[in-house]
Structure 1
Amino acid sequence: MSGRIMIVEDERIVALDLRQTLESFGHEVVMVASSGEQAVADGPLLKPDLVLMDIHLDGPMDGTQAACILQQHNIPVLFLTAFAGQAMLDQAEQSSPYGYLVKPVETRALQATVRMALARRRAEIAVEKGEERLRLAVDVAGLGVWEWDAAAARFIGEGQFESIVGHIPESLDDTDSGFLSRIDAAYRPAIAEALTRGEAIRTTVKLKEMPGQGRNGWVDFHARAFARPGGDLDRAVGVIRDVTAQREQEERLRRAAVVFTSTGEGIAILDAQRRVISVNPAFTTLTGFAESDVQGREPDDFLYARRREDAFYTRLRESESDYWSGEVACVRHDGTMFPAWQHLCVVRDAQGHIGNYVLAMSDTGALRRAEAQINHLAYHDTLTGLGNRNMLEDAIEKEIERAHQNGSRVAVLFIDLDGFKLINDTMGHATGDQLLTEVAQRISRVLRRTDTAIRLGGDEFVVVVPEVARFEDCASLAEKLLCEIRTVVELERERISVSASIGIAVYPDNATDFTGLIQAADSAMYGAKERGRNRFAFYSSDMADRAMERLHIEQGLLRAIAGDQLLLQYQPVVRIDDGQLVGFEALIRWDEPSHGRIGPDRFIPVAEECGLIDYIGSWVLHTACAQALRWMRQGFADLRLAVNVSARQMTTGDFHDTVRDALAVTGFPANQLELEITESTLQAVEHSRELLGRLKALGVLISIDDFGTGFSSLSLLKHLPIDRIKIDRSFVQDLPGDPNDVAVTGAIIALATSLGLGLIAEGVETPAQQQFLRARGCTEAQGYLFSRPLDVDDVDQLIATPRGRLS
């Protein structure tokens, strides 16, 4: 067969002779070049089937060099040269020629060699085209082809392999750089076992997520391993294909199927002719029609009380949104009718043609019942059944309008339970809910039919009393409510007593609108609490002022916490006989930007009521311990730190954890931390003995602050793990002139001495007080006689000097 041939020969006569000979064989000579440079330049453009190349050519490039370059363009070379030395053969071999003929060559030998070279080239072209088709097919199919050659320890990845996996592995195993390491661990053992047995594998596996090495997804995995005669792995080959999108689509279809099956709406899938294809279980439950009853039928024929073709199919065809919704009258399988809200939508194909309709329907009777229930919930408290805030506003505005027309009065009683939070926190929310329910029932029993009882939320209730003739009637009702509420409540496992504080405001005497009445009653309620709780109080203007101040303090505390406005001062504690410094009491202060420094007596009670004391107390404990530890490291190694604890902190249930965490975080020694707790707090907290025991187990010291100001009980000192008593400043300030204070102070000192407890006297301001206390045996004191509370910088200067006396 003929071919297209290029001749590269620098001897013109030889070149012409070759050309005539080749053309006589029927071949086409596309070019005669005299140098390697010309062959390299024109060969890739002409793409000859074969190049007859002399090795020794004019110019710097010889035939073997030119052949190597032409080989890169898949152009075969046949050497025709006068040299056949070993060195020349070695050099020619590097270009992988199709043949090597030594001049002079017989015509028949040339014809045969050229013919065989062309035949070889045609075979290679066929293979190359087959390989190209295979590569294209692999790319079109999105396949990644791989092979592991065990003998050569070489992993080959072709096609889409690298884009799927992310990189070409170095081996087949599950090492960090191995192919199996890219496969999720759940699928890896089965593949490894199948490869070991030499079985064909056809499965879908998940790729392991490896950041920066290809995306995580799913692949179809087809492979097989081949073993040597001895059983060792020889090679393994396989293909992979990314099926992540397919798996995601299948997952979406599964989810859609679950929704279709489990949704509460009745759904019917219709074809383009509006015939039923399938229905979900909810459709059968709602209508009574099974799928077999309605397949192939139009809903107009069985579902509607009257045909709806003109009602919504026409509108749907005319609609640009492909959706229609409306209420329709439907008929169940048993002939009964029911109202339903129906959604009908069109499903179109990619060309915009209608492929299906989807009909969804729900029983509007159930919706109407739900609406009625929602309306009830909108105006009633779910726990107690009383009215809620929405009903309160509506009731008060109606009664105000009626009172305005009739010239009568309306009273609002604001009820807040005393100590309910303590019960809720210590006995649990379930017990708290039972108590609230019982209180609501008791309130309802006392009221008239014209009165309205409301639960605002938490432990707050409001009673609206219309047509009030006398203020005494409000007081009488409040007394009845207080008596009813404080009666012992018998729950399943507990007997609980709770009292209430009631504030009373009257229209139009105290306010003329809803907001004003509620605010006035709320202020009056706080006035009742301030007077001792378990009582009622009528509104007065000074109550409103105090309530407004409380609100300002509460809001200001939130800003103070966020703006780091809280700080600590430290009151020195000294030995009373020589004024030697022994430690400090941490005292919290609030530097409010607009009103200056605010004392704890004003903001701590508010913090306890609004729940901020937990955060503030924890902050004080952590800050004081951290600061005191720095002073210890500066040389005051035996420093004792006292921190006050509020009643609210003791009742939260996690105070022990707060102290433990503060010691752990700051590293402050537990045996040098003293927690100051008022005796009224210890009496109020039922589990104080257990809590103090847990605190003592941490190693901290416990002192009773303000001892003697409450209803002192010797059992506190006998049964609780107390280390120290602090004599309140109210007993110290008139010493030694007041006989009563002398007697009380002497008794406290004697009591502490006999029980082996430490003693600190607070508020020592005169040498006479110091001398009296020292003579009676009091060991330590604090007060302005020795030092006012100090800022941190002042304490730094104090402890930087040689340890002196503050007397």
Structure 2
Amino acid sequence: MNPRIMIVEDERIVALDLKHSLEFLGYQAVGVHASGEDAIAHIPTQQPDLVLMDINLGPGMDGTEAALVINAEHKVPIVFLTAYAEEKTLSRAERSMPYGYLLKPYELRELDATLRMALARRQAELEVEHAEERLRLAMDAAALGVWEWDPQSDDFQWQGHLEGILGGRPRFLRGEQDAFLDFIHEEDRPAVAAQLAENDVVSSTVRMRQPDGSLGWIELYAKRYAEHDRTRVIGVVRDVTERHRNEERLRQANVVFQTTGEGVLITDPQHRVIATNPAFSLLTGYAAEDIYGFDPDNFLHARRHSDHFYPRLLETRQGYWHGEVTCLRRDGTPFPAWEHVCAVRDERGELRNFIITFSDISEIRQAEEQINHLAYHDALTGLGNRHQLAARLDTELERAQLSRQPVAVMFIDLDGFKLVNDTLGHAAGDILLQTVARRIKGSLRRTDIAIRLGGDEFVVIVPDARRLEDYAALAEKLLEAVREVIELRDERLSISASIGIAVFPDNGTDSQTLLKSADNAMYDAKMRGRNRVAFYSPDMAERAHERMAMEQGLMQALKTDALHLHYQPVISLADGKLVGVEALLRWHHPELGQVPPARFIPVAEESGLIDRIGAWVLRQACRQALAWQQAGHPPLRMAVNVSVRQLAQDHLVENVAAVLAETGLAPECLELEITETAIQSIEHSRERLRQLKALGVMLAIDDFGTGFSSLSLLKHLPIDRIKIDRSFVMGLPDDGNDAAITQAIIALAQNLKMALTAEGIESPEQLTFLQRQGVEDAQGYLFSRPQPPQALESLLHTRQWQSMQ
């Protein structure tokens, strides 16, 4: 296919001539644009292979500015075509790292040569990027822990899966607490220490103590390198516990093949099945003789592997692939499976077989669905609950902000429901609520969202309507549906509803404000006689003035050091010891007094001040953590929240590294808390988290369970800790839904070997429930409210929460 070239030139005649020249040379001109803004807008749809860019483009962006955006957001090569070559212009052009620079007038052969060289360079870069990605995937697939040891200083560095393999975080090789050798069984430890000290090459399989006290096995490979006057040992560790146990139990590889729970297929090089195991038949219903000689793509996979799959598999150095696929049972029933495909070669490198193993992951998907359903649906009516309201309304508001479209929130309250409950009983009241919920849902469009807030209160989120009349018409339709006669046992009754409507952005720019406005409007409807609709009518000038005052106040607070941090203790539920603190921002306004974070943080987010505030919070928290250590207190885990906007910054990792270097705080003492919503809304969040993890800091998911977590995403993220959201803890232990959700989150964290912290504990009953479920750490008003640092001195000295002694 001919290369696709986008032309950005504000002189139309020059642009048309350039288009004809490109087509004459055999290129495809996919677009001609007169401004940088227009070119940027059309990049996603026109998908050029290269952009030919003039520098001087008239009003608006010049070519170098547009090139910076295109390079950052789309990675499309830029070649400048301009009549200017003075030093200032060249300096501006250099910043966008162009692939070429042509001066007008030019010859066709110069243009052709420049374009060909630029395209060739881009192709080479893409190949390098793909190779690097394959290498990262290979390391992750092998589940290796890599370490390096300096014998002279006992300095021990590691990366990869070492911490997961050992169940701990080693800081030294030997002779200190948390040393690598301490994880090895005491009987094997002397031999390993001697080999590492004396041999140039170490290869050994040794026992280790796992976190639950049982014995495990690891393979240890190491090699000594001498460079100039420095000696170092580089090694690799892999967990072979399961393999070793299988060898001890089964004795023969054939027994492993026959008894494994995964389905196994062995094919010849032409992909024809030559062997299966019993698990395959159990999983699929196929007898072995039914599929001998057939290609698995013809009976097992719902979607065939592409024609390039096996050739690419053979080209990789590792020779294997794994991923999620949809498989079919003999009766045609589909099921999700995690599949591994491996090429087997002989000692000469000749292909002999392919081995396909797969496991049914239906239970994982069902658990994911169960957690989401329990977390986001009302058990009585099947509508969304308050958790779904918070998540979906925030999502719709973010989408509305981007599309500049209104969103309405309707607050519905039934008139006289308490009388029905008191007269006919709660069972009849439940039937009435279920009936009303069905009618509300049946009256809505596909894009509308119905929520039962609690009791007889409902909320409807209405996106994409264009006029207030549309909202009013839908509200009247809902009133009419609610008024229809309802059969309750031997009773026929009719009830009405009052509806309040608030519209984004006129009546609020955040979910809480919109809900409050809609609630106020609903009460206005009740006061005016019930069975009616009321729109919220705020004082826009007052609201605008308040927001501006808040933003100006935050800017002044940054200048005058009016912001300060309080710290809420994190307590170990095993022994009541203080194990960490969470840094929480506080602002004392000279006129408004103590301003709640929920009031000023959204303003900081919208105005962009959160970047400066977040950097200030991180620096202050790290300084305080180090100050406590320098005062003689043992190291504590310092938890600092990271906002969506901060996570989206390209320089976040650099900033965190700079603060750690500046303050001198050890990276393992810092825990960054990131919400699920932030992870899912930021492109490349997985790589950003890996970069942060590479610094040595700990990563936690805050408010877990409120952001539509995907378990398949979660297992690939380098997360150390899950924080159970206070909204689930609030109803413990009496609320069955909250208890079920909490237990599901705890089981998930334990299976993924992640630490757990519960937030918002306010009662001894909640504490007892969480202790029994195996939650490790907790924080909340039961232990302590957030306090200034000096107020925590007594707790820092005792390191013990008194009520658990």
TM-score after normalising by structure 1: 0.35
TM-score after normalising by structure 2: 0.36
